[in-house]
Amino acid sequence: MKRYLIILAAIFCFNQAHSQNYKVTLQTSQYTSGIAYLTYHMGKNLNVEDSAAVNSKGVAVFTGKKKLPPGIYALVLPGKSKSVDFLVDKEQFITVKIDTADLINKTVVTGSSANILLQQYQKTIAAKAPLLDAERKAYSTSTTKADSALHEMNYIKLNKELNNYRENIIKTQPTSMMAALLNAMKDPPIVNTKPITHNDSLKNYYYYKAHYWDGVTFMDDRIIRTSFFLPRLEKYYAELVVADADSIIKEADYQLLLARSSPEMFKFLLNWLTDEYISPKYMGQDAVFVHLFEQYHSKGISNWLNEKQMETINRRAYMLMANLIGAKAADLEMLDTTGKPSPLYQVEANYTVVVFWDPTCGHCKEELPRIDSVYRAKWKAHDVRMYGVLSADSKEDLKPEWLKYLREHNLGEWVNVYQTKEIETANYAAQKPGYRQLYDVTLTPTIYLLDKNKSIIAKKLTWQQLDELLQVKWNKSN
């Protein structure tokens, strides 16, 4: 009977242990209380995965029912002033024993073979770093050419030894997580020749761009939880990819295709691209977000997003679809100041400036006279017409205030239009999108520039930006 109970207890303990998909145990004799944190590297910050209380024996245990995604993690000690990095890969039951007297050399990680190479690497870096720093300082304070040459040679030698050490890990342990991280951390190669001509600069740029991702595979989820991947991704799209929407879409689709077999990498890339281009830095790049919506989100591929997140993405996409740069602007069924129909497409001009504004908006009151002034002084002579749209909450009757402002500021040369509550109600009943959705009018004034065929040239500009753009177009046509 006693033996039977022992067997049952053993089975219970086994099942209990394996019901936890990860268990990270922190051991540190220097702490007997406080809260420790299990964090992971991603981007520029440490992100908290879990927290646990340190008991009187200096032990804190982090457990969870799901496996930890692979990557570089850190245990942050109570007080948040000290931390130790370690790797998580396939093995999920890890013990980290820390001695704060020497975090590098006296930390011992067990239960994870990936950390054997990491700890060896950390110790090697810790030994080489002071020597490299000493040679760099000696070089900067050298008083003779001979001393400078000596310290430069010593620095190069030490640096080469360190690089050879890294390359040896990659060569001898090619499937290890450490090799994957070292490959991904390599700086992209640079052409040695100094550019002399413009073609030389272009050649260097194309070479650098072509080899930018040489050490990184988008089929490896382990690269995401690091401090270097996100900054590298941001740099690539900010500095190396041409800023027009078509170029960005081409790069994004290719990277997402590569990441299809790596769920966490795919999720990370799609989330980052969506966040980056839902409110882009440059006009026209919103087409990237619309593309991501149509090709991925609308097809249910991003099923990890919650209902509120998907609602935000859906709403934003439908606000942008009809007003992408190069698209035909939607016609506006509006009435003029006398109540007669005056649709947008009735305006004939080389350029049409559409201004959505509100007579109760303080910024609009300041900007409209300036816009009208530059229109009369410069734009009108180049066959530019103004189409001003009263944009106001349908619950408010601002028509009297609108008409008063038009009279007082002499905006009679504009085509001034508004939409009645009845028209808006009828459109809503017929499930027709309103002008706010068609033109993404969330703030006033909102300004669009259309060509003679009513295609969108530019949008969401200030009048100064619009003036500069028109000047460029007129100069090109001369």
pTM: predicted TM-score of the whole model, two decimal places: 0.85
Cα gap 162→132, rounded to integer Å: 10
For the ranges 86-95, 141-150, 446-455, the lowest mean pLDDT is seen at: 141-150
Q: How confident is the model at residue 274 (pLDDT cuts 50, 70, 90)?
A: very high
Q: Is the pLDDT of residue 19 over 60?
A: no
Q: Is the pLDDT of residue 100 over 60?
A: yes
For the ranges 16-20, 228-232, 445-449, the lowest mean pLDDT is seen at: 16-20
Top pLDDT among 199 and 193 is at 199
User: What burial letters (b/e) apply to 189-202, b meaning 16+ CB within 10 Å?
Assistant: eeeeeeeeeeeeee
pLDDT at 13: 44
Taking only the tens place, the pLDDT of each residue in 426-435 is: 888 888 899 9
Taking only the tens place, the pLDDT of each residue in 302-359 is: 999 999 999 999 999 999 999 999 999 999 999 999 999 999 999 999 999 999 999 9
Q: Which of 187-191, 246-250, 281-285 has the highest mean pLDDT?
A: 246-250
Taking only the tens place, the pLDDT of each residue in 114-145 is: 999 999 999 999 999 999 999 999 999 988 99
Average pLDDT, rounded, for the chain = 91
User: What burial letters (b/e) apply to 404-439, b meaning 16+ CB within 10 Å?
Assistant: ebbeeeebeebbbbbbeeebeeeeeeeeeeebebbb
Contact call for residues 104 and 128 (beta carbons, < 8 A): no
Q: Return the HEC string of 361-393.
A: CHHHHHHHHHHHHHHHHHHHHHCEEEEEEECCC
Residue range 418-443: mean pLDDT, rounded: 90
pLDDT at 151: 93
